[in-house]
């Protein structure tokens, strides 16, 4: 009678939850961060050569982009479901899925960036006697960097959100907390995980953007110049 009239408080934000379960939350966060970073790192290492190859051999560009488009349409849950029996219930399955999705965004970004290089710049490099490989490495790739960086930002943000789906194979990082909170109807747990997810995406996005600025010091000057011209 007493309980029915006065249900226990179930706040959306609770500092005591964080204090009491700090270790638990930190473990989930650590899993989330490490999965994201690992996936993005692997994806970058694979995507740059793949994009460059598609750029050097234009005949390959169509199939590469087509395959990435089709793969991107496949829902993450379906991908994890098909992978799980082969790669096991656990970290590897989630990582493969994350790398695949990030790969698709990145290959596209690299290819678009390389194609967007000003033909005049390419002509100038050819005129100075640059070979194909040297031109790619020292002229085209640096020119494509801003596009690549924005692709990496996009991939990072989507990966942070996607990690949570890993909950179906038991490796969802913060998604683990969300799902457990849902199961036990504990609002604070869900909300804490959600907010941490958003903050993590924001922080990583900013870090990648900063890294991009550091990597392309010339683009800052260019912006100043074009601003002055306008």
Partner 1 sequence: MDVLNEALLWLNDPLNWTGPNGVVALAGAHLRVSFLAVLLAAVVALPLGVWLGHRGRGAVLGVLVANTTRALPTLALLTLLAASGLFGNTATVLACAVFAVPPLLSGAVTGLAEVDADVRDAARGVGMSPTRRLWVVELPLAVPQIAAGLRTGAVQVLATVPLAALVGGTSLGSIVVTGFGLQRYGQVVAGGLLVAALCLAVEGLLALAQRAVTPAGLRALARSERPGARARRSPVPVDAAAAAGSNGPRP
**Which of 114, 152, 178, 208 forms a contact with partner 1 (CB under 8 A)?**
178
User: Strands (DSSP E) along 73-133, which ranges?
Assistant: none
Stretch binding partner 1 (CB under 8 A), from 22-30, 48-56, 82-90, 212-220: 82-90
DSSP letter for 168, please.
Answer: G
Nearer to partner 1, 78 or 222 (CB): 78
**Which of 2, 5, 86, 127 forms a contact with partner 1 (CB under 8 A)?**
86
Q: Which of 151, 160, 150 is nearest to 204 (CA)?
A: 160
Stretch binding partner 1 (CB under 8 A), from 20-28, 39-47, 127-135, 183-191: 183-191
Q: Cα–Cα distance between 94 and 204 in angstroms, integer?
A: 19
Other beta carbons within 10 angstroms of residue 156's beta carbon come to: 23
| Pair 35, 91: CB distance under 8 Å | yes
Stretch binding partner 1 (CB under 8 A), from 23-31, 45-53, 136-144, 155-163: 155-163
Q: How near is the Cβ of 102 to partner 1 at its closest, in Å?
A: 13
Return the SS3 of 116: coil
Count of residues in contact with partner 1, rule CB under 8 A? 50
Q: Cα–Cα distance between 130 and 12 in angstroms, integer?
A: 61
| Pair 51, 114: CB distance under 8 Å | yes
Residues that bind partner 1 (CB under 8 A): 70, 73-82, 84-86, 118-120, 123, 154, 157-158, 160-165, 167-169, 172, 174-175, 178-179, 181-182, 185, 187, 190-191, 193-194, 197-198, 201-202, 205, 229-230
């Amino acid at each position: 009678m007493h309980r029915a009239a006065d249900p226990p408080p179930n706040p959306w934000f609770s500092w005591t939850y964080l204090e009491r379960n700090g270790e638990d939350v930190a473990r989930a966060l650590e899993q989330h961060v490490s999965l994201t970073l690992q996936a993005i790192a692997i994806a970058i290492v694979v995507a740059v050569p793949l994009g460059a190859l598609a750029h050097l051999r234009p005949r390959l560009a169509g199939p590469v982009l087509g395959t990435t488009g089709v793969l991107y349409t496949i829902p993450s849950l379906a991908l994890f479901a098909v992978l799980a029996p082969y790669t096991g219930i656990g970290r590897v399955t989630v990582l493969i899925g994350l790398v695949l999705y990030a790969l698709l965004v990145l290959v596209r970004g690299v290819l678009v960036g390389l194609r967007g290089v000003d033909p005049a710049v390419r002509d100038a490099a050819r005129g100075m006697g640059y070979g194909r490989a040297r031109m790619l490495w020292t002229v085209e790739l640096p020119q494509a960097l801003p596009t690549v960086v924005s692709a990496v930002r996009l991939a990072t943000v989507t990966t942070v959100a996607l990690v949570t789906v890993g909950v179906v194979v038991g490796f969802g990082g913060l998604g683990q907390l969300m799902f457990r909170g849902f199961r036990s109807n504990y609002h604070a747990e869900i909300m804490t995980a959600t907010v941490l997810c958003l903050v993590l995406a924001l922080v990583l996005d900013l870090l990648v953007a900063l890294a991009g600025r550091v990597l392309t010091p010339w683009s800052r000057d260019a912006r100043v110049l074009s601003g002055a011209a306008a």
